[in-house]
Amino acid sequence: MARWLPSLRLLLLLGGLAVAAVVGLFAVAWIATPIPDPDEAAQAQTSTVYFSDGTTAMGEFAAIDRKPVPLEQIAPTVGQAVIASEDRSFYSNSGVSIRGIARALWNNLRGNETQGGSTLTQQYVERYFLGTTTDYAGKFREAIIALKIDQQQSKEQVLENYLNTIYFGRGAYGIERAAQAYYGKSASELTLAESAMIAGIIPAPSAWDPAVNHDKAVERWNRVLDIMVEDGTITAEERAAQVFPEPITPQRSDRYAGTNGYLLDMVRSELIDEGGFSEAQIDQGGLTIVSTIDPRMQQAAVDAVNSLPESKPENLHVALVSIDPSSGAIKALYGGPDFLTQARNDATQSVAQGGSTFKPFALIAALENGFTLDDRFQSYTPMQIDGFERPVRNFDTVNRGSINLIQATANSVNTVYGQLNVAVGPEKTVEVAERAGLPADTAGLNPYPSNVLGPASPHPADMATVFATYAAGGVRHDRYIVESVTNTDGDQLYTGANEGERVFDAGVIADATVAMQAVVNGGTGKTASTLGRPAAGKTGSSQDYRSAWFCGFVPQLATSVAFFQVGEDGSEETITPFGGANPVAGGTWPTTIWTRYMKVATEGMEVLDFPERTTPTRSPIGPTNTPTATPTPTAEPTVEPTQEPTQEPTQGPGNQPTPQPSLPVDPSAPATPPGNSGGNNGNGGNNGG
């Protein structure tokens, strides 16, 4: 029986139908495959936080470490090396390479190591639009989109997008971050040898990193250079002159390490809590974030705290917060030595009994209610005062006789301020504290007569806000750390700046400032007088010297410094004497650290005087005789004050006087700190300074 053989005409017909089917299938696929929106991860950009100068980087926020740069800011050798390594036909192909695909398919069918056969354009499509694709259907879709991209974008655009998108290893996405990760320089500064090394390891950057597999990296580097010679990109002489460029040691990314970690954490919190930003916006939005932190002042704060003598106790905590009174902008903040080892911010999260830093609250309340600085009170000690269960004592046991409120403030006289608070009303003292900037939920802030002695435990940052309100003449600003946030288009999205609110009469604050100047000019904070310009403030020490403070200001800057010490069980404990200070009180190390910081922070600032006193000659109002004892106690037990030295310590860093330690605060302490004896009940918490 004769075998049937198809005719040539039939073969041609079937072949034509097959070609038509393929063309039809391709046409349908072309129409049905739009260019998708970019993959979110491919668009993610690192957000950078700057100091207030807008140029000094503080740190970064990133889910993916990427910083896109235009092609003209990338060394030409980078593109040449990448094309040699990844797609030699880049400038002649249409986005796909049939030869490359066929070669890869044949290799894969034979069971050899899988190959992709992708052009540079296809790799860009995969990373920018699709994410990783491995099956043949995905590769077909990838090829269709690559063809469309090639029609819509120039080769230069594709190359730029590719270089800004792909992963180069060491956590770096995009060539700019890769240049920094491998050679510590910008992509515009990469040499031919460096470009070839980075290009060579693109297929497996983590495995072929010279720090992981040096021999493979060198092999790939040689391959790239040899191809560049073959393609005429470089000459043989240029090739022969190249030496393998050893990259820098991989850097561990501890974005929150050191003292700046506290600042970055605060920036992030403000953006979320006040600015309404999402985590994704912060980590992937490529935002430019300018903080309020002055780099010179911040370094001065760190240096001042680090100037404490080595004899300081290991469990001593120190916080420093400095605020611009005219705006509420935080200019410097020390929240701890290292955010990675101690995440609790001693400036904004830890608390410590305020001690005599609370006396100005009662003073302002008195001035608002008809008292003047000339009003006189008996100062003998001990003294039984209404509302106090036990007699109130002065820290220095001195009876100064009948003294006015300036003298009582300068020397932090407990008995005078106990009488004053009873006469004015302790509820008014609380109300003044809240108006000045203390949150209403401050631990221990209660309307007891003894609240004037500072049993309440504020955050150091809140006390900085309070004293900034004084420095601003009675205008309170909400403090903030973010000056501006702009997106990649340059549009401003947020600022923490606020207009402020007048909460006290300027004349009242002027008079209160006169009394606080006396603290500096010859009182418990006299160390601060070496600042060499008008300054005012108040020292404070808590019960048993578990904490010590100095909060002070010049017209342009307010700063609070707090010391506290934490025991093994997390409770506050008496600050261990060190550096010639025994005990460590507000007038010792806290005042010294404040002064050291402020000397640097105020360099170049105009020397300004405070407003003049408004009531220099008004006749005294208020009690001038000994108050009657309270037959039945109505308040918590009165803490026995102990001496608060104001002399400078005898030892210290450099040739500067060494002050005694200040208020300790436990960073891990709860809102109401343990060991806060009498703190919530009103009579405790003050040693007089």
Structural tokens at position 128 = 């920018």
Q: Are residues 685 and 354 in contact, defined by beta-carbon separation less than 8 angstroms?
A: yes
- Three-state DSSP at 483 gives strand
pTM, rounded to two decimals: 0.74
Residue 46, pLDDT score = 86
Domain 68-240 classification at class level:
mainly alpha
CB 155 within 8 A of CB 91: yes
Helical segments of 274-335, H only:
279-284, 295-306
- Give the SS3 label for residue 78: helix
Does residue 80 contact residue 165 with C-beta atoms inside 8 Å? Answer: no
What is the spatial distance between Cα 443 and Cα 685, in angstroms, rounded to a whole number? 12
DSSP SS3 for 138: helix
pLDDT at 295: 98
Neighbouring CB atoms inside 10 A of 461's CB total 26
Side-chain-side CA neighbours of 79 within 13 Å: the count stands at 19
CATH topology classification for 292-477+496-689: Beta-lactamase (3.40.710)
pLDDT at 399: 92
Q: Is the dihedral of CA 89, 92, 97, 98 positive or negative?
A: negative
**10-residue averages of pLDDT along the chain (689 residues):** 58 57 47 47 79 96 83 96 88 61 50 55 63 48 61 80 87 91 96 97 91 95 96 96 94 84 95 89 90 98 97 96 98 96 95 97 97 96 93 90 97 97 98 98 96 96 98 98 94 95 96 98 96 97 94 98 90 93 96 98 97 67 39 34 42 33 28 29 48
Q: Is residue 86 flagged as an active site residue?
A: yes
- In the chain, CATH 1.10.3810.10 sits at 68-240
Find the catalytic residue in 47, 291, 327, 356: 356
Q: How many residues does the chain have?
A: 689
Report CA torsion sign: 391, 466, 371, 689: positive
Q: Locate CATH 3.40.710.10 in the chain.
A: 292-477+496-689
Measured CA to CA, the distance from residue 421 to residue 442 in angstroms comes to 19
What's the CA gap between 84 and 402, in Å, rounded? 92
Which residue is catalytic, options 47, 52, 85, 86? Answer: 86
Peptide bond before residue 583 is cis, with ω within 30 degrees of 0: yes
The predicted pLDDT at position 121 comes to: 73
Per DSSP, helices labelled H in 44-127 are 76-86, 98-109, 120-125
Cβ atoms of 354 and 463 closer than 8 Å: yes
Q: Return d(Cα 219, Cα 534) in angstroms, integer.
A: 69
CA neighbor of 382 nearest in space, from 419, 347, 350: 419
Is 385 within 8 Å of 423 (Cβ atoms)?
no
Closest C-alpha among 158, 168, 251, 238 to residue 204: 168
Structure tokens at 553: 């200001």
- State how far the alpha carbon of 209 is from the alpha carbons of 35, 79, 167, 194, 557, in Å: 33, 19, 12, 13, 50
Handedness of CA 106, 112, 117, 118 (dihedral sign): positive
β-partners of residue 332 are 322
Alpha-carbon separation of residue 180 from 49, 55, 127, 196, 250 (angstroms): 18, 18, 21, 15, 10
Angle at which helices 155-165 and 175-183 cross, to 10°: 50
Given CA atoms 508, 513, 518, 524 in this order, what sign does their dihedral have? positive
Helix (H, G, I), strand (E, B) or coil at 161: helix
d(CA 381, CA 77): 83
Confirm whether 619 is a catalytic residue.
no
Residue 439's pLDDT is what?
97
Buried (b) or exposed (e) across 562-589, using 16+ Cβ within 10 A?
bbbbbeeeeebbbbbbbbbbbbbbbbbb
Amino acid at the residue 201: I
Q: Which is nearest to 418 in space by CA: 391, 456, 457? A: 391
CB neighbour burial string for 108-141, b if at least 16 within 10 angstroms, e if fewer: eeeeeeeebbbbbbbbbbbbbbbeebeeeeebbb
